[in-house]
Structure 1
Amino acid sequence: MRVLVAGASGFLGTELVARARAAGHEVVRLVRRPAAAPDESSWAPDRGDVDLAELDRADAVVNLSGASLARLPWTRRYRAEIVASRVAATRTLVEGMRQAAAPPAVLLNASAVGAYGDRPGETLDESAAPGEGFLAEVVAVWEQEALRAPSGTRTVLLRSGIVVGRGGAMRRMAALTRAGLSARLGSGRQHWPWIALDDEIDAMLHLLDSELDGPVNLVGPAPATADHVLAALATRMHRPYFLAAPAPLIRLGLGVAADELLLADQAAVPQRLLDDGFRFSRPSVETALDAMLAVER
């Protein structure tokens, strides 16, 4: 396939571009500056500008563009940027696809398990109702923009969990653990939806060729609690894990992001991926952490 990738320079985008090329796909990276290489195309999502000729030539579009959720704290201004960056990028691509003479057959659009909100005691597959909270609201408007893609374009909403790899939220967790400062967060019993970086990228490549559309949970098959994840990381890094950070203290330091990122309980499962025949190479959080730390070493 000829695949157009937005957000190609980010944590996930960099890995996706490399792996997609290794799999034989031709990749064109959307860049927010004048294109300087044959595999680049300039765009300006804040102005709604994208090259319609590139969209005509593309078989698939993967949109991973958006302000990082791992950047803290979430001030009021940054929360507005989180929303605006996702909506502008998605709207620009979708409007371009609607104007293209031959729209791409596939759109894989980033999303998040934040769609489900805080749901203790529930197992969350893709049929679960939307939740409440800031991220649930972000996902709702983000996905709504993606679903405006042309009727002939199969649109997949990539509801990702915490990606276990050398970037994003795990980079900060690993740094704190390395310094001996890892701590139980709140009760520690809240489920963290996680996925190994290898499986995140393999799932995207799988979905390029699949017939699935709509929401797909990109999470590992074995739900794990925050305590489980952080204790396993500390064990593998040979660091202590005995400190505790009470929920009120976390909220004091991080505000809205505390409840949305660290304290929310989301036992999400990848039901549609499993039903579609996808097989995870890192089926437990332990194997995901082992892979992450092996790459670091």
Structure 2
Amino acid sequence: MPKFEYTSEFECSIEELFSYHERKAVVNRLIPPWDDVVVVKEPQNLIDSDAEFLVTLAPLVCFRWIAKHCDYVKNNQFKDIQLTGPFRRWEHTHLFGSNEYGKSYLTDRIEFEPLFSSISRIFAENMIREKLIKTFRYRHTVTKNDIDFIKKQSTNKQFVIGIAGSSGVIGRELTSFLRLLGHTVYKIVRKIPKQRDEIFFNLEKEELTNLSEPLDIVINLAGEPISEGLWTDKKLKAIYDSRVVFTSKLIQAIKKLEKPIIHYINASAIGYYGDRKERLSEDGSKGDGFISDLCQKWELAAKNDLFPTTILRIGVVLTPKGGALKQLLKFVNLNLGATLGDGEQYISWITMDDLIYGITHILNNRLEGVFNMVSPSPVTQKEMMDTISNKLRKVRILSLNRKTVELIYGRLGKEVLLANNYVIPDRLNLSNYNFYFPYLESALDHLLGVKDE
């Protein structure tokens, strides 16, 4: 039977490494962003409970994977064995160890048997091994970074947190990570709640109802996607209402809570600064255009005198799960990656990991005011397209001039796709936050599961 092993060393004790794998929501956290996997059921423990996943391979091609945890030995090992899934047999053993230098190691050992005939089995085994290497390189990197981040935190205090926009790409990742840290997280929703972890936000009455316990912190990430679809009048109204109107009403609802919250965090965007070529810190002035005006009104709607408030001016968030990178990958994989305009406009980006670490850092340290949520290394649009293409070994030969981009995308093209955004995270740097992926090369290695030979 084919076997696979992947081992990494960690700068922590064996107890810290093992307990990380027992944390709530760790299953969600360790799913690579290039895999279309939904956690249907989290395991209750690593001793004798099941986990269930819905795995999509292609449109209309999906299957359920059910695995049972067993053979649990504290700080030593646990296993998960496939009950239902794509293999004849799958047994995954997680082995933990330590050395005399205070470091620990994790070995993921897998025995598997594909559902293929003997003729095609060798080909299938090679494909599976390549995918496993890619997967566990990602998982071990996330594990290392998460443990390092947790150890650096000044407080382990746990909060009750409400998140608006929890169904979005950022919201889903932040929810999982905060739960992994032990916080109690409720999703603020506008539909009648169906789950115990949901709070109903009655927009018309400006009320938050069916709270099972008082909230300590509210994080507002809600907003209609800006770059999806053309900017029709209807789209622009949806963008405005989902940010400015929604935020204003949410603030009023929070003010009505019996127990005041201790911190409020609201999303905004680096579009606040407009199309600017100069280096911009949080002290930079407002720019011109619809996006700049929107961000200013959005931030003003969030300001209040009742509770400490933080504004997150978020840059281009890189993750294959959604947003700009997901759209770019569609074109790059077809060798249709293109420079837009002259390609010299700067893009201020941040990985999803650094974004959720940064938000958590702000939350734990109760930091107030405006923060640019971007990496310290902006790149030009051409540099980003070339780097993605090279990582995936694709060809980039297309170029769309400014007039063509504006003709196709209208104001969206002019204000977003062609805009210069050279934004620097000065306040994050001053708060002693250390980026895990400050440079685009290493960020894409991690996010795309590639590694230069």
Q: Which residue number in structure 2 is paired with residue 64 of structure 1?
A: 221
Instruction: Tell me if the contact between 2:207 and 2:254 (Cα under 8 Å) persists in the aligned partners.
Output: no
Q: Which residue number in structure 1 is paired with residue 173 of structure 2?
A: 15
- 1:237 alignment partner AA: L
Q: Which residue number in structure 2 is paired with residue 165 of structure 1?
A: 319
Aligned equivalent of 1:111, options 268, 274, 279: 268
Larger RCO (CA within 8 A; separation ≥ 6):
1
* Alpha-carbon distance change, 48 to 7 in structure 1, aligned in 2, over 3 angstroms: farther
CA distance in 2, matches of 1:126, 1:55: 37
Query: Post-superposition shift, 1:199?
Result: 0.4
- Of stretches 285-294 and 219-228 in structure 1, the one that deviates more from structure 2 is 285-294
Q: Give the count of matched residue pairs.
A: 291
| Correspondence 1:146 to 2:310 | no
Residue aligned with 1:51, SS:
strand
Query: Post-superposition shift, 1:53?
Result: 6.6
Q: Which residue number in structure 1 is paired with residue 161 of structure 2?
A: 3
Flag structure 2 segments of 5+ consecutive residues without an equivalent.
Answer: 1-158
Query: Post-superposition shift, 1:61?
Result: 0.4
Aligned equivalent of 1:132, options 267, 288, 291: 288
What's the CA shift string for 1:141-168, capped at 9, x where partnerless?
10000003xx241111110000000211
Residue aligned with 2:207, SS:
coil
**In the TM superposition, what are the counterparts of 1:219-230 in structure 2 within 5 Å?**
219-230=374-385
What's the CA shift string for 1:42-70, capped at 9, x where partnerless?
2243x244325749711100101110112
CA distance in 2, matches of 1:56, 1:240: 54
Q: Which residue number in structure 1 is paired with residue 254 of structure 2?
A: 97
CA distance in 1, matches of 2:421, 2:391: 24
**In the TM superposition, what are the counterparts of 1:1-297 in structure 2 within 5 Å?**
1-45=159-203, 47-51=204-208, 54=211, 57-120=214-277, 122-148=278-304, 151-166=305-320, 167-294=322-449
- 1:264 alignment partner AA: A
Identify the structure with the greater strand proportion: 2
Q: CA RMSD in A?
A: 1.6
Instruction: Tell me if the contact between 1:191 and 1:267 (Cα under 8 Å) persists in the aligned partners.
Output: yes
* Alpha-carbon distance change, 5 to 190 in structure 1, aligned in 2, over 3 angstroms: same
Regions of 4+ moved over 3 Å: 52-56
- 2:197 alignment partner AA: D
- 1:250 alignment partner AA: V
Residue aligned with 2:449, SS:
helix
What's the CA shift string for 1:112-140, capped at 9, x where partnerless?
000000111x1000000111111001001
% of aligned pairs identical? 32
Bigger radius of gyration among the two: 2
Instruction: Tell me if the contact between 2:263 and 2:366 (Cα under 8 Å) persists in the aligned partners.
Output: no
CA distance in 1, matches of 2:211, 2:444: 38
Q: Which residue number in structure 1 is paired with residue 41 of structure 2?
A: none
CA distance in 2, matches of 1:48, 1:214: 29
Instruction: Tell me if the contact between 2:199 and 2:210 (Cα under 8 Å) persists in the aligned partners.
Output: no
Flag structure 1 segments of 5+ consecutive residues without an equivalent.
Answer: none
Query: Post-superposition shift, 1:72?
Result: 1.7
TM-score by length of 2: 0.62
* Alpha-carbon distance change, 257 to 159 in structure 1, aligned in 2, over 3 angstroms: same
- 1:114 alignment partner AA: G
Instruction: Tell me if the contact between 1:109 and 1:146 (Cα under 8 Å) persists in the aligned partners.
Output: yes
- Of stretches 210-219 and 179-188 in structure 1, the one that deviates more from structure 2 is 210-219
Instruction: Tell me if the contact between 1:178 and 1:239 (Cα under 8 Å) persists in the aligned partners.
Output: yes
Residue aligned with 2:249, SS:
helix
